[in-house]
Structure 1
Amino acid sequence: MQSLQDAVDEAAERTGFSGVVRVDRARRTELCTAYGLADRAHEIPNTVETLFGTASGAKTLTALAVMRLVERGTLSLGTTARSLLGEDLPLVADDVTVEHLLAHRSGIGDYFDEDAAADIRDYVMPVPVHRLATTEDYLPVLDGHPTVFPAGEGFAYNNAGYVLLALIAERATGVAFPDLVRTLVCEPAGMSDTAFLRSDELPGRAARGYLSSTGLRTNVLHLPVRGSGDGGIYSTAADLSAFWDALLAGRIVSPERLAEMVRPRTDWPEESRRYGLGFHLHATGDAVWLEGYDAGVSFRSLHRPSTSVTYTVISNWSDGAWPIVRLLDERFGG
């Protein structure tokens, strides 16, 4: 059989992959390689230490931060959004709870309809992106969307719900959401390079996100200038490996709480998977993962307990990660 390194190198060359691939088995790194350019205009290569946007990969960190607050007694799964919203977002139903929001079963209207965008690059934020720098800044974007179905009676992947979770966490603690994620999730996990960065002041180690496999157009006009609960955190392949080690060792949430989060709450046949509380789950197997897809970003970080395999594929263009993800799924059992 072709070696793992040769197989990934060949696929990266064939597809023009730009990003980092890391594979660990039983906590031993079998592959960690960077490909392509972090900054095409200046021909700066990606390295294994490059910071990449993770888009909706941040949702899992949001869920874990919220669960830490549940463990502390600051929130409960039954806490209603309305109890912390006051007069804001009047269309959010009175019975929508933290648990509904975590499971994408709240039924609230979404500001970003992923199904309506034929191409992820076609979506334009309803307000200028530079105005979205804090979670409270999202209130005008979240407002005015009618309920789609009664809370708990359906499933619809929902970006607004995770921004709402960030808002609830902020209001319950009085602490800015990026700081909550840092102190409740990243620090216990040893994720020292993971943070919500502003797209208009990226540090030198951060990759620019590109809208296609070639060309110089970046995603800076497509995404909020700084992410919130539904996406936008930057990370590295090493930090994501550390994340899985810490998560499985009980350093972020207790093993009992983690078991609750990875228990399937919904079948998601359209995407050939299931969903828990903040985690994507294999349709029939035991794999669990974080995933992000947006203009200039494609990302998956997966752990399969039955084989002790963890992999991260993180790319700085919209569709870059998926051919490598398919290769690794085929290699390690789908």
Structure 2
Amino acid sequence: MNTTRRTVLGALGASAVAATTTGLTPAGAGAGAAPGRVPPELRPGGAFDAFLRAEAEQGRFSGSVLLTHHGRPVLARSHGMADRDRAVPNGPDTVFVLASVTKLFTAVAVAQLVQRGQVAYQATVGTYLDGLAAEVADRVTVHHLLTHTSGLGDPFRMPGFWDEAPGWSSVEEVMAGYLAFIRTDRPAFPPGARHAYSNAGYHLLGEIVAAVSGQPYHDYIREHVFEAAGMTRSDFYTKPRWRTDRRIAHPYARAESGEWEDVLEERLFVGTPAGDAFASCGDLARFARALTGGELLDPGHTAITLGGKVPPAPAGGGGGGGPARTVFQAYGPLAALERGQWVVGHGGGSRGISTSVDLFPDTGWVAVVLANHDVPLGTMPAVPAKARELIVAAGT
């Protein structure tokens, strides 16, 4: 239950890693350049539009897609139903649960506090938080948490988590309950020795944001990320709101019968720093524009956040590198060098959820794909992969 698809996408490798930094040009550095030609493959009626329609017609995609080029919308499409019981279709303003794409907001919040001199990347977790085991408090750093090299794991997989979590009925109970399970966790390897995707690590980052800023985590993100970026439909909606708000897509997963079943009740009461904020495609495009345009961070800290730090080990489904693709874990997103171009983004997934946002800083593209159907375990989501393929090809 609630196993994230990042086991496929996040390159959960076991190889040794080095704290290196790529030469990634700050995203948005090309924002002032003259917009290039939009290839016919990416325009309405082009190859990507046809591919997306075919995926929807064959029952493999339900959701919304937005492609922008230098801030200008190029293609916006929606397919399928946001709420099957009430016959509400997905549309351009439909709000989707983001799963692990939420980690981008947490990473930006940390970078803002670093920029203000209130947090240091090399400081240990114990500098900011009390009540953690010594091997976490004294050895795990903010850098380790951001790069998934802390050795901490996933509370969703811990014994007893799903016995307690359904009973949490407030934001405070979710945050405290989630943290209580993390307090029992111990690093599976020496911090910095390996890369292993960690929901626990990103929850601790959110706790650091709250402790240092003096604001509850969710309030901080609302003010300093969502409002600052003009993300008017974004929030951490609670489960009761999700059930009733017709703007918010319900998540659907395949039942054993082959029918699509609503799996909303499998989610927590509210999202955490590790996952399940909500946004529309337009809001995520605005987030990308604000991040690359200096509205959320100064250029230096934008470059630090989006520049690759740790090379994840190759994983099934293409998480690693290859002759034409070299991947690094950045402070939040993955940074991939594909055919000489940087692609910086994050995906998220669980039962009934498949999301991604990709920034192409060399050519000014942003691709947002938000789906309320999941994809088969062990496979890559086809729609964002096709968008990346065509956008990269257009820039070569």
Fold shared, TM-score > 0.5 on shorter chain: yes
Which residue of the partner structure matches residue 84 of structure 1?
128
Residue 262 of structure 2 aligns to a residue in which SS? coil
Which residue of the partner structure matches residue 209 of structure 1?
251
Which residue of the partner structure matches residue 322 of structure 1?
381
Is the CA contact 2:179–2:203 (under 8 Å) kept in the aligned structure 1? no
TM-score normalised to structure 2 length: 0.77
Q: Which whole-Å CA distance do the structure 2 matches of 1:327 and 1:113 have between them?
A: 32
After superposition, the Cα gap between the structure-2 partners of 1:302 and 1:237, relative to the gap in structure 1 and judged at 3 Å, is same
Q: Which whole-Å CA distance do the structure 1 matches of 2:161 and 2:139 have between them?
A: 31
Is the CA contact 2:100–2:275 (under 8 Å) kept in the aligned structure 1? yes
- With 24-33 and 159-168 compared, the bigger mean Cα shift is at 24-33
Residue 128 of structure 2 aligns to a residue in which SS? helix
Q: Which has the higher contact order (CA 8 A, sep 6+)?
A: 2
What is the CA distance between 1:126 and its match in structure 2?
5.2
TM-score normalised to structure 1 length: 0.90
What is the CA distance between 1:290 and its match in structure 2?
2.1
Which residue of the partner structure matches residue 228 of structure 2?
188
What is the CA distance between 1:70 and its match in structure 2?
1.3
| One of 93, 106, 111 as aligned partner of 1:49 | 93
What is the CA distance between 1:176 and its match in structure 2?
0.9
Which residue of the partner structure matches residue 329 of structure 2?
275
Residue deviations 1:168-198, cap 9 Å, x none? 1112222111111111111111111111111
Which residue of the partner structure matches residue 287 of structure 1?
343
Aligned residues: 326
Which residue of the partner structure matches residue 162 of structure 2?
125
- With 90-99 and 30-39 compared, the bigger mean Cα shift is at 90-99
Structure 2 residue runs without a partner (length 5+): 1-40, 321-326
Which residue of the partner structure matches residue 75 of structure 1?
119
| One of 285, 295, 308 as aligned partner of 1:251 | 295
Structure 1 residue identity aligned to 2:96: F
Q: Which whole-Å CA distance do the structure 1 matches of 2:161 and 2:215 have between them?
A: 29
RMSD, aligned CA? 2.3
Q: Which whole-Å CA distance do the structure 2 matches of 1:215 and 1:308 have between them?
A: 40
Q: Which whole-Å CA distance do the structure 1 matches of 2:247 and 2:167 have between them?
A: 22
What is the CA distance between 1:216 and its match in structure 2?
5.2
After superposition, the Cα gap between the structure-2 partners of 1:215 and 1:43, relative to the gap in structure 1 and judged at 3 Å, is farther
What is the CA distance between 1:326 and its match in structure 2?
2.4
Is the CA contact 1:38–1:45 (under 8 Å) kept in the aligned structure 2? yes
Structure 1 residue identity aligned to 2:280: T
Residue deviations 1:55-100, cap 9 Å, x none? 0000010000111111122222133211333224555241211111
Residue deviations 1:289-313, cap 9 Å, x none? 1211112210011111222221111
After superposition, the Cα gap between the structure-2 partners of 1:109 and 1:300, relative to the gap in structure 1 and judged at 3 Å, is closer
What is the CA distance between 1:247 and its match in structure 2?
0.9
Are 1:297 and 2:353 an aligned pair?
Answer: yes
Is the CA contact 1:182–1:195 (under 8 Å) kept in the aligned structure 2? yes
What is the CA distance between 1:219 and its match in structure 2?
2.5
Structure 1 residue runs without a partner (length 5+): 115-122
Q: Which whole-Å CA distance do the structure 2 matches of 1:153 and 1:194 have between them?
A: 36
Structure 2 residue identity aligned to 1:68: Q
After superposition, the Cα gap between the structure-2 partners of 1:295 and 1:91, relative to the gap in structure 1 and judged at 3 Å, is farther
Is the CA contact 1:12–1:324 (under 8 Å) kept in the aligned structure 2? no
- With 101-110 and 55-64 compared, the bigger mean Cα shift is at 101-110
Which residue of the partner structure matches residue 118 of structure 1?
none
Residue 335 of structure 2 aligns to a residue in which SS? strand
Residue 221 of structure 2 aligns to a residue in which SS? helix
After superposition, the Cα gap between the structure-2 partners of 1:130 and 1:295, relative to the gap in structure 1 and judged at 3 Å, is farther
After superposition, the Cα gap between the structure-2 partners of 1:168 and 1:11, relative to the gap in structure 1 and judged at 3 Å, is same
Q: Which whole-Å CA distance do the structure 1 matches of 2:69 and 2:213 have between them?
A: 38
- With 229-238 and 23-32 compared, the bigger mean Cα shift is at 23-32
Which residue of the partner structure matches residue 120 of structure 1?
none
- With 317-326 and 157-166 compared, the bigger mean Cα shift is at 317-326
Is the CA contact 2:155–2:178 (under 8 Å) kept in the aligned structure 1? no
